[in-house]
């Protein structure tokens, strides 16, 4: 059974870099796209971007200058990096595969 397990720092100060990893167990990267989504407290979902199994990426325009997504085939992991965070980046971050599988979510709080 394929599962997504994610982790990363949960508390950041303004201007720091958010880094999250999503690990895929029981499956491979081939043929899928891998997405990151976030949900600010009490609000709706926001698509951040995705990366295809070949490394091709798409990002939401509003975050494009600060976002990087990458794959590590050797570890069956994909990652999200978001630079220069502010309080507006406080949210639960989810990874997902083809919208059929979701990670458990990681709460990231940006506060001084």
Partner 1 sequence: QTVVTQEPSLTVSPGGTVTLTCAPSTGAVTRGHSPTWIQQKPGQVPRTVIHSTDIRQSWTPARFSGSLLGGTAALTLSGVQPEDEADYHCLLLCGPVWVFGGGTKLTVL
Q: Which residues contact partner 1 by CB under 8 A?
A: 35, 37, 44-47, 50, 58, 60-62, 94, 98-100, 102-105
Residues 6 or more apart whose CB falls under 8 angstroms from that of 42 comprise none
Q: How far is the CB of 53 from partner 1 (least distance, A)?
A: 17
Q: How far is the CB of 54 from partner 1 (least distance, A)?
A: 15
User: Which lies closer to partner 1 via its Cβ, residue 29 or residue 50?
Assistant: 50
User: Which lies closer to partner 1 via its Cβ, residue 6 or residue 77?
Assistant: 6
User: Which lies closer to partner 1 via its Cβ, residue 19 or residue 101?
Assistant: 101
Q: Which two tokens stand for residue 6?
A: 């994610």
Q: How far is CA 2 from CA 41, 47, 101, 110, in A?
A: 28, 22, 8, 31
DSSP secondary structure string, 63-110?
Answer: GTTTEEEEEETTTTEEEEEE-S--GGG-EEEEEEETTTEE---EEEEE
User: Which lies closer to partner 1 via its Cβ, residue 16 or residue 68?
Assistant: 68
Q: How far is the CB of 7 from partner 1 (least distance, A)?
A: 15
Q: Which residue, chain included where needed, has tokens 């999200």?
A: 80
Q: How far is the CB of 22 from partner 1 (least distance, A)?
A: 13
């Amino acid at each position: 059974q394929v599962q997504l397990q994610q982790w990363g720092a949960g508390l950041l100060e303004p201007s720091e870099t958010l880094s999250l990893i999503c690990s895929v167990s029981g499956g491979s990267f081939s043929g899928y796209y891998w997405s990151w989504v976030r949900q600010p407290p009490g609000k709706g979902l926001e698509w951040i971007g995705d990366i295809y199994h070949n490394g091709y990426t798409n990002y939401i325009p509003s975050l494009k200058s600060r976002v990087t997504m990458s794959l590590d085939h050797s570890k069956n992991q994909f990652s999200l990096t978001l630079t220069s965070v502010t309080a507006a980046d406080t949210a639960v971050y989810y990874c997902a595969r083809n919208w059929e599988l979701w990670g458990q979510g990681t709460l990231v709080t940006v506060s001084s």
